[in-house]
Structure 1
Amino acid sequence: MSKYQKFLLFGDSITEFAYTTQPFSLGGALSAAYTRKLDILHRGYSGYTSRWGIKILEDILEEHEDNDIAIATIYFGANDSCLGGPQVVPLNEYIENMKLLIYMLRKHNIKPIFIGLALFNRELWETIKVEEIKLGHIRTVDNLQVYNNSLKQLAKTENVPFVDLHKAFTEIGGESWKDLLLDGLHFSSKGYEIWYNELLAAIKENYPEYYPDNMKTMYPLWRDVKADGSNI
């Protein structure tokens, strides 16, 4: 009996919402691309940080045997980089946490990919999140970029593929970059489409054996199946 390996999407709300946007959704597109190749294991946790993510990843890995999960994206930092509130994770700890997450994955033979932090429309976000702002849960463009640049350096040091969403959103979005964000932080359908394309490009370059076009489908195509099913 054939067993499907899994593709883990792990992170905060931007990962959790991977199936929610239309007409394009990251989760739906990945599920389609990896049909009969890898199962998408969707594990996003709105509001979570790298500190809390460590505890979650421990539970996820306990549920799965070694080699059960083939590849994983890690996307934390939008909450860690807050300037106030319970989500704040200092930069040094954030980097140590992200390093630990990749060590945990690699210990289980899982190939990690860091997803870098994208753009932030502070004006729109603070218009929508008035109550959070009153509580001091402040985000800034500059601090988000500090965390992103530090993660990019960690990726280089640890030889982890890095999906540079800040660069991609800036270059592809151009003057219309705000259209890539629903509320100033979370992605629109167009934003998720950029993530998808950049992710597949990173997989093709770094883990070509898991690029969809290079993978065999589970079970033969129907035209190759014998009438009695004996070759299934």
Structure 2
Amino acid sequence: MASCQYIDSVVLFGDSITQAWSDGSLAQRMSEYYLRRLDVVNRGFGGYNTDNALSAFESVWATRAEREAGCAQPARLITIWFGANDAVVEGGWQHVPLDRFRANLETLVERVRSPHSKWYSPQTRVVLVSCPPVVTADRHAAQMAKWREFGSKGAAPWPDRDPATTKKYAMATVELGKTLGVPVLDVYHGICEAAGSEKQEDLARFLYDGLHLNSEGYAVVFEGLKRLILREWPEMDPESLPMPMPYWADIDKADPEASFKTALAEARAYEGKVGKDERKREEL
């Protein structure tokens, strides 16, 4: 069993676009970015919408009591990235009406931020992430290919995504972030800017099936998230974070145990200083 006290974490919470561990995915890039400084915990669940996320959160996020008892790995940051499935056109079982989608996102944020929440985690920075655009023709082609792969059983899949609807859910995420004072990574417009337009044919190169990002799409997300983190919380720069385990060349051959104790103590001292600075900012 891994120790929950050795190192803090960054939690990626979302749907299948978060879940991906493929080469170039957000989880892979973030793990490399925070290598040996923070664990990157992937809590992405394919097919989930925000209704499902409310239930899943209760299992994947430690309560305040668990954390204060030392039974949970502290999280320095959480990304909350939903909307791609909520935005299924009305009639699809994953569809969540826009007003409920906003309310669900707000509930997730307040579960982390509110002192009245049993999951309150004051040291955790929260980032909302908007869903990317969709390319409907590619999405439907991928649906049909999978349907044929499984023997064309049942009714043929119908086009379940609409660009205008997806954009509404992305913009609702951005607007909610402004209302709550939570930083938002606007992936929708980030992809559109990288593509040079919102035209379906221009967006297609960032999505391997019209819905899920490919490595090029994730590169846009990762670079945007890095910029957001360094702008909002410069103390989260990996270059500023000490490694809880010493660099191999810094280990004292005569007394290696002392080197390990010193590295861990320095990491904990840094965490304590950052925590105090954050509390001071909150009081201002």
Q: Which amino acid in the other structure matches residue 90 of structure 1? A: P
The question of whether the paired residues in 2 share the 8 Å contact of 1:85 and 1:136 is answered with no
Higher relative contact order (CA 8 A, sep 6+): 1
Q: Which residue of 2 aligns with 1:123?
A: 137
1:120-160 Cα distance to aligned partner (Å, 9 max, x none): 10011112213599555621000111111111010011111
Distance in 2, matches of 1:133 and 1:94, equals 29
Match of 1:145 among 158, 163, 167: 167
Letter in 2 for 1:139: R
**Structure 2 alignment gaps of length 5 or more:** 114-119, 148-153, 261-284
Larger Rg: 2
After TM superposition, list the pairs within 5 Å mapping 1:66-145 onto structure 2: 68-83=74-89, 84-106=91-113, 107-109=120-122, 110-130=124-144, 134=156, 138-145=160-167
Distance 2:142 2:26 in 1: 24
Shift of residue 102, structure 1, vs aligned partner: 0.7
Instruction: Please give the per-residue CA displacement for 1:11-64, whole angstroms capped at 9, x wherever unaligned.
Output: 0010111x11x3x23222211111121101111111100011011111112376
Candidates 170, 177, 188, aligned match of 1:155 = 177
Match of 1:42 in 2: 42
* Alpha-carbon contact 2:129-2:173 (below 8 Å) kept: no
Mapped to 2, the partners of 1:16 and 1:209 lie a distance apart of 27
Q: Does 1:224 align with 2:250?
A: yes
2:34 is aligned with 1:8: no
Shift in alpha-carbon separation, 1:133–1:31, aligned structure 2, 3 A? farther
The SS at the match of 1:231 is helix
How far residue 224 of structure 1 moved from its aligned partner, in angstroms, is 2.3
CA distance in 1, matches of 2:58, 2:233: 24
Please give the alpha-carbon distance, in whole angstroms, between the structure 2 residues aligned to 1:137 and 1:85.
Answer: 10
TM-score (norm 2): 0.75
> Residue 198 in 1 paired to residue 224 in 2?
yes
1:174 pairs with 2:202: no
Query: Quick one: structure 1 residues 214 and 76, their matched pair in 2 at CA, closer, same or farther if it must change by over 3 Å?
Result: same
Q: Distance in 1 between matches of 2:127 and 2:57?
A: 15
Runs of 5+ consecutive residues of structure 1 not aligned to the other structure: none
Find the residue that maps to 1:70 and give its secondary structure.
Answer: strand
Q: What secondary structure does 2:193 align onto?
A: helix
For residue 118 of structure 1, report the CA deviation from its aligned partner: 1.3
d(CA) in 1 for partners of 2:140 and 2:53?
26
In 1, distance between residues paired with 2:18 and 2:142?
20
Kindly indicate whether the alpha-carbon contact (under 8 Å) linking 2:128 and 2:182 is maintained by their aligned counterparts in 1: yes
Q: Distance in 2 between matches of 1:156 and 1:170?
A: 21
> What is the letter of the counterpart of residue 156 of structure 1?
K
